[in-house]
Amino acid sequence: MSSWNIVEISSFPDERGNIHIAEYDKDFDFNVKRIYYLTGMSEKTSRGGHAHVELNQFMLCLAGSFDIELNDGILKQKFRMKNDSKALCVGSLVWRDMTNFTADAVMLVLNDRVYSEDRVVRCYSTFEKLVYEKNV
């Protein structure tokens, strides 16, 4: 089973603009306990560089664009996130690196745990060890 998947959310454009809708049980399958959003990046910015031991996330690009590379220790995949109808569901133990932000980029992240419970791993060799232990 993949540690992440792309979700096509509903969008309704009309002459007044666009409404984009992500809904529990359809687009993501967890209760949201925390949201955060990232602003003020530039093309030189690198964010991420970590994984979470226990966390499910739903990631959206609300404006601009950026690259996100996901790595579960076996599979690596890079996505260009844009302000479109595509979102990313990302599970536990996925290393992520975000780069190449446009100056107007806004990333919104919904999370199923509060920050103190998600157990951030910022050391890549610790991440590799945890992936190994999970897969034996």
Interface residue list for ligand TYD (CB under 6 A):
34, 36, 38, 47-48, 115
Smallest separation, CB 59 to ligand TYD (Å): 11
- Residue 26 DSSP one-character state: T
Smallest separation, CB 103 to ligand TYD (Å): 16
Between 8 and 104, name the residue whose CB sits nearer to ligand TYD: 104
- Other Cβ atoms closer than 10 A to 55: 22
Smallest separation, CB 35 to ligand TYD (Å): 9
Q: Are strands 57-63 and 106-111 parallel, antiparallel or unpaired?
A: antiparallel
Residue 21: phi and psi, rounded to 5, are -130, 125
Between 38 and 131, name the residue whose CB sits nearer to ligand TYD: 38
Between 18 and 31, name the residue whose CB sits nearer to ligand TYD: 31
Question: How many residues does the structure list for the chain?
Answer: 136
Residue pair 98/66 in contact (Cβ under 8 Å)? The answer is yes
